[in-house]
Amino acid sequence: MSAAVPPGMGPRGVPFTQFLRPDGRQMRVWIDRSPEIAELARKLTSEGVRLELEELSTGEASLEAVCDDEEGEVDSLAGEVVPNGEGVGEAVDRLVREAAAEIAARKAGVS
């Protein structure tokens, strides 16, 4: 069963909250990836995982998958810092797969 796709997000869109410089304003963006990655990302977000994106002052892109732990603190599941540009898409794929593997390991009691 597939997770519902929010309005405005195509079947290949991976949802991110982008933090904008200089004041950290937030904007919802979607990064076009394969249907497999988009579906996996939707499953993660339906389980409370947040995908976040920020352009660093160095020009690099910081991507992170986070969730709240039992105490309500932000817990990082996976992260990538890559040159901003064509390599971001592949970093999204790695981030989503790594976050999914971390969630699975935690559910299995391995992490």
pLDDT band, residue 17 (cuts 50/70/90): very high
8 in a structural domain: no
2 in a structural domain: no
| Pairs from 20-29 (Cβ < 8 Å, separation ≥ 24) | 20/55, 21/54, 21/55, 21/57, 29/53
Number of domains in the chain: 1
* Beta-bridge partner residues of 14: 31
**Residue 88: predicted pLDDT:** 95
4 in a structural domain: no
75 in a structural domain: yes
Structural domain span for residue 24: 13-107
pTM: 0.86
101 in a structural domain: yes
pLDDT band, residue 22 (cuts 50/70/90): confident
